[in-house]
């Protein structure tokens, strides 16, 4: 799908009727902006605080993911990639997760990390 946003617009998928329970995910975005900060993608679940976020902070991509947290074991992982992405040029982003292994590719730069969560699946059941 292709969307154009004006800084006030959102698009959402309603997973409240058919929750997503995935052990692997792939999210691809192509974007251009001259704003250094903004939320590009946000999804959350109600079970064990699962979430996936993609944000632009000071011109860099930050991917936050939590496959589930417990009081004994917080599962939040944040991956930073790229810089000067607020240059109003097209940038290609791919976030790929298989179990706990996560890769974030922005243009030609790839960053790998592993989730700190005690769980393996991303459970999303909200908007």
State the residue for tokens 């998928």.
13
Task: Note the pTM of the prediction, 2 decimals.
Answer: 0.88
The answer to whether position 5 is within a domain reads no
Within a domain: 4: no
Mind listing the pLDDT tens digit for each residue in 26-67?
Answer: 999 999 999 999 999 988 887 778 899 999 999 999 999 999
CATH number of the domain at 68, please. 2.60.120.200
Question: Tell me: the pLDDT tens digits for 77-109?
Answer: 999 999 999 999 999 999 999 999 999 999 999
> What's the domain count of the chain?
1
Token duo for residue 58: 């000071």
Would you give the DSSP letter of residue 72?
Answer: S
Domain coverage including residue 35: 21-123
Domain assignment of residue 49, yes or no: yes
């Amino acid at each position: 799908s292709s969307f154009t946003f004006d800084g006030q617009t959102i698009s959402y998928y309603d997973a409240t009727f058919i929750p997503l329970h995935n052990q692997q995910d792939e999210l691809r975005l192509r974007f251009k902006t001259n704003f250094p900060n903004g939320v590009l993608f946000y999804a959350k679940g109600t079970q064990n605080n699962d979430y996936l976020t993609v944000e632009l902070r000071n011109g860099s991509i930050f991917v936050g993911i939590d496959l589930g947290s417990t009081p004994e074991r917080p599962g939040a992982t944040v991956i930073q990639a790229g810089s000067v992405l607020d240059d109003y040029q097209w940038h290609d982003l791919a976030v790929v997760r298989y179990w706990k292994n996560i890769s974030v590719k922005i243009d030609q730069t790839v960053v790998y990390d592993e989730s700190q969560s005690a769980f393996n699946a991303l459970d999303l059941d909200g908007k």
